[in-house]
Amino acid sequence: MGLRIQCLCIQTSDPARLAAFWQSALDWRRTHAEDDEVVLEPPAGSPEDGVAPDLLFLRVPEEKAGKNRLHLDLRPQDQDAEVARLEELGARRLDVGQGSGVSWVVMGDPDGNEFCVLRALTRQELADHHAEVG
């Protein structure tokens, strides 16, 4: 079957503002911008270009209410440094009942959309992943 995910649609009352946060957070490029929608794509020529779904920010009149039904999990090389950088960009830590013994950090973007910053992969996990992909 020739089906793939083209984009993840994120509803927001301010597409430009929320896209600016995620553009800085992911270091992605803005490929389309209108008042009611903004598209972000991975950097041109990167391993994610044409593979990772685009992020499409769509204007809606209402603010976010309730917990996300879908969220992003981000895998950094340095979890502590990445959490600190994302906080500087406007994200904040959230408690959604995850408890204290988890290896990830739950955060909210400027609209309050939840996402997780996972722990970095160990060298062995990276080696195993490259062996599987290679």
Q: How do the domains of the chain map onto residue ranges?
A: 1-62, 64-134
* Span 121-128, average pLDDT: 80
Predicted confidence band at 121 (pLDDT cuts at 50, 70, 90)?
A: confident
Within 8 A by CB and 6+ apart from 36, the residues are: 15, 58, 59
Predicted confidence band at 69 (pLDDT cuts at 50, 70, 90)?
A: confident
Asked if 62 and 14 touch (Cβ cutoff 8 Å), the reply is: no
Give the CATH number of domain 64-134.
3.10.180.10
* Reported pTM: 0.88
pLDDT digits over 3-23, tens only?
889 999 999 999 999 999 999
Amino acid at position 7, single letter:
C
Average pLDDT, the chain: 93
The total of other beta-carbon atoms located within 10 Å of residue 96's CB is 11
Q: Locate 50 and state its tokens.
A: 């044409």
Quick one: pLDDT at residue 126?
Answer: 73
| Closest to 57 in 3D by CA, of 69, 77, 39 | 39
| Closest to 75 in 3D by CA, of 44, 116, 110, 112 | 116
Q: Residue with structure tokens 């999990």?
A: 73
Within 8 A by CB and 6+ apart from 63, the residues are: 13, 111
* Span 46-61, average pLDDT: 95
Q: What is the topology classification, in CATH, of domain 1-62?
A: 3.30.720
